[in-house]
Amino acid sequence: MKRLFKGIVWGLIVVLGLSFNAWAFGRKTIVKVGINAPITGDIPKVGEGTKYAARMWLEDINKAGGIEVGGKKYPVELVIEDNESKAESAVKANTKMITEDEVIVIVGPQSSKQAVPAGDVANNYETPMITPWSTNPDSTKDRPFVFRGCFLDPFQGPVLANFITEEFGFTKAAVLYDVASDYPKGLAEFFKIAWEKIHGSGSVVAYESFTTKDADFSSQLSKIRSSGAQVLFTPQYYNEVALIVQQAHELGWTGPIVGSDSWGSAETVTLCGKDCYGLFFSSHYAAAGAKGATKEFIDRYKKTYGYTPDDVAALTWDSLRLVQQAIENSGKVTGNIKKDRMAVRDALAQIKNFNGITGDMTFTEEGDPIKCAVIVKISDTGEYEFYKSVCP
């Protein structure tokens, strides 16, 4: 017993002496920003883009010597948490960042299945949160502390319907979507409503669906082909887009195929190849032919990480810049985390005409931005070219 006691006492003395900053008591005021990203799981590419954009932002802040609030500079720390692309992990990550790391504001999670439950946590703890990529209205609905960095599907659907009508003058459209996935299903419905509003009911001549991870679409595509549709709208993710487009061309489909912002990943063209050249989709920004700050961001990202950033990275970048502006505008960092979070939330809600790389933004009452959509054309060299901008 004595030996044990002695051992423990000596051990403690050593540990105390060695413990980092045991000699510098006191905790500094650090502005902490949480990132909730799907680094592992189904969509690691999205998590990677989020992480890289956040690192670039932190680099900028550190270069400037911290974030300036009320004439004083505070150091900034990023808390990056992996949500494994699962709902409960996103909730855990948010709870941890809010209660343990005491972040002032959270950026993320990206997909709606995580942003909806995680937004609930952030709102309950009165912590401002911006989800850069979630398009589900529920993420921000009735949640004064939750904001969003992108436009919503009820806006994107009509934008595409109008664009196709004006550009091609078609009257009959077909839709092919994944019935088991939240985003494609919602967008397909909004597109159908918008299209039928312009061309009358029955003008969506084929409304075909499949289930996540299906790889053979020939039966749906043959139906679409025989229905007499002039254009095919498919709001799918990059891996399915490649399959759908290739199979449609094999079956003899010659009309245009139009997509939504989920096409915006760099992988789409890599997987799809020549089949996708010349097609259109709506997006948050276009990488090829970008100007000003957008080009600067793209070039820097490409130089550091070796590939063109997709829309997630750009939206995360904008969200972080919004956060930065809100913190700067909040007037003062008191060190009282509750007060600071409240001040940041108020500052965030008041931001007007924020000049982002994905367009100008002003938040509505619900915390959704009013911003323009971009129609992108995939060029003959496989680049995403700016074609047209559509504003609300």
Partner 1 sequence: MEEQNEKDQRPKKGFKAWLQKLFAGIPLIGWLFSVFGAVLIEYFLGDLISYYLGLPKIPVLFGFLTVLKKPLLIPGIIGYLILVYGLPILLIAKSLRKPANKLAAFLDKGPVSIGAIIHLGFFYGAMHFWTDLSDYRLLVLKLTMIAIMLTLSINVINGYMGEFSCSHPGFMALGAYGASTITLLLFANDKLFGDALLPVALGFYFFPLALIGGGLIAALGALVIAIPSFRTRGDYLAIISLAFLFIVKSLIENLEFIGGPRGMSSQPNYANLPMVFTVMVLCIWIINNFVRSTMGKALNAVRDNELAAEVMTVNTRKTKIIAFMFAAFWAGVAGGLFAHVLRYVNPGSFGIQRLAEILAMVYFGGLNSVTGSIVGAVSISILSEALRPLEIYKWIIIPLLLILVMLFRPTGLIAFTEFNPKELMKPKKKRIEEQ
340: contact with partner 1 by CB under 8 A: no
- 201 binds partner 1 per the rule CB under 8 A: no
What is the three-class DSSP state of 381?
coil
Give 49 or 186: the residue with its C-beta nearer to partner 1. 186
CB of 81 to partner 1, least distance (A): 7
Q: Give the tokens for residue 149.
A: 């960095």
Q: How many binding residues for partner 1 (CB under 8 A)?
A: 48
**Closer of 144 and 255 to partner 1 (Cβ):** 144
Which pair of tokens denotes residue 92?
């855990």
93/152 with CB nearer partner 1: 93
Shorter beta-carbon distance to partner 1: residue 59 or 214:
214
Which of 2, 20, 215, 252 binds partner 1 (CB under 8 A)? It is 20
Q: Closer to partner 1 at the Cβ: 25 or 202?
A: 25
Ranges within 238-257 binding partner 1 (CB under 8 A): none
CB of 148 to partner 1, least distance (A): 16
> Which strands make up the sheet holding 257-259, listed edge to edge?
204-210, 173-178, 231-233, 257-259, 280-283, 373-378, 384-390
- One residue of 138, 167, 346, 360 binding partner 1 per CB under 8 A: 138
Instruction: List residues bridging with 375 in a β-sheet.
Output: 282, 388
32-91 positions binding partner 1, by CB under 8 A: 39-40, 81-82, 84, 86-89, 91
Tokens of 267: 């992988």
User: If binding is defined by CB under 8 A, does position 120 make contact with partner 1?
Assistant: yes
Which of these segments, 59-67, 94-102, 356-364, 366-374, binds partner 1 (CB under 8 A)?
94-102
CA–CA dist 333, 318 (Å, integer): 22
What's the min distance (Å) between Cβ of 92 and partner 1? 6
Cα separation, 254 vs 221, whole angstroms: 12
117: contact with partner 1 by CB under 8 A? yes
Out of 45, 55, 172, 185, the only residue in the binding site for partner 1 (CB under 8 A) is 185
Choice between 45 and 172, CB closer to partner 1: 45
What is the residue-wise DSSP string for 286-347? -SBT--HHHHHHHHHHHHHHSS---HHHHHHHHHHHHHHHHHHHT----S-HHHHHHHHHHH
385 neighbors 288 (Cβ within 8 angstroms):
yes
Q: Which of 99, 218, 219, 336 binds partner 1 (CB under 8 A)?
A: 99
Smallest separation, CB 80 to partner 1 (Å) = 9
Lookup: tokens for 363: 């938040």
**Using the rule CB under 8 A, is 100 a contact of partner 1?**
yes
- Is there binding between residue 211 and partner 1 (CB under 8 A)? yes
Taking the CA atoms of 155, 384, 293 and 310 in sequence, report the sign of the dihedral they define: positive
Q: Closest distance between partner 1 and the C-beta of residue 104, in Å?
A: 15
DSSP H or E stretch at residue 224: helix 218-226
Rounded to the nearest angstrom, the gap between the alpha carbon of residue 129 and the centroid of all alpha carbons in its chain is 13
Nearest distance, CB of residue 255 and partner 1, angstroms: 28
SS3 content of the chain, % helix, strand, coil (to 5): 45, 20, 35
Q: What does the CA dihedral 134, 137, 138, 143 come to, rounded to 10 degrees?
A: 90
Q: Does 179 bind partner 1 (CB under 8 A)?
A: yes
What DSSP letter does each residue of 45-99 carry, written as one string? HHHHHHHHHHHHHHHHHHHTTSEEETTEEE-EEEEEEE-TT-HHHHHHHHHHHHH
Q: Rank residues 133 and 384 by Cβ distance to partner 1 and give the closer one.
A: 133
Residue type, 73: K
Helices 112-124 + 87-99 axis angle, to 10:
30
Query: Least separation, in Å, of the C-beta of 212 and partner 1?
Result: 9
Using the contact rule CB under 8 A, the part of the chain among 21-29, 195-203, 266-274, 307-315 near partner 1 is: 21-29
Q: Using the rule CB under 8 A, is 16 a contact of partner 1?
A: yes
Chain residues binding partner 1 by CB under 8 A are 4, 8, 11-12, 14-16, 18-22, 24-25, 27, 39-40, 81-82, 84, 86-89, 91-93, 95-96, 98-100, 102, 112-113, 116-117, 120, 125, 136, 138, 179-182, 185-186, 211
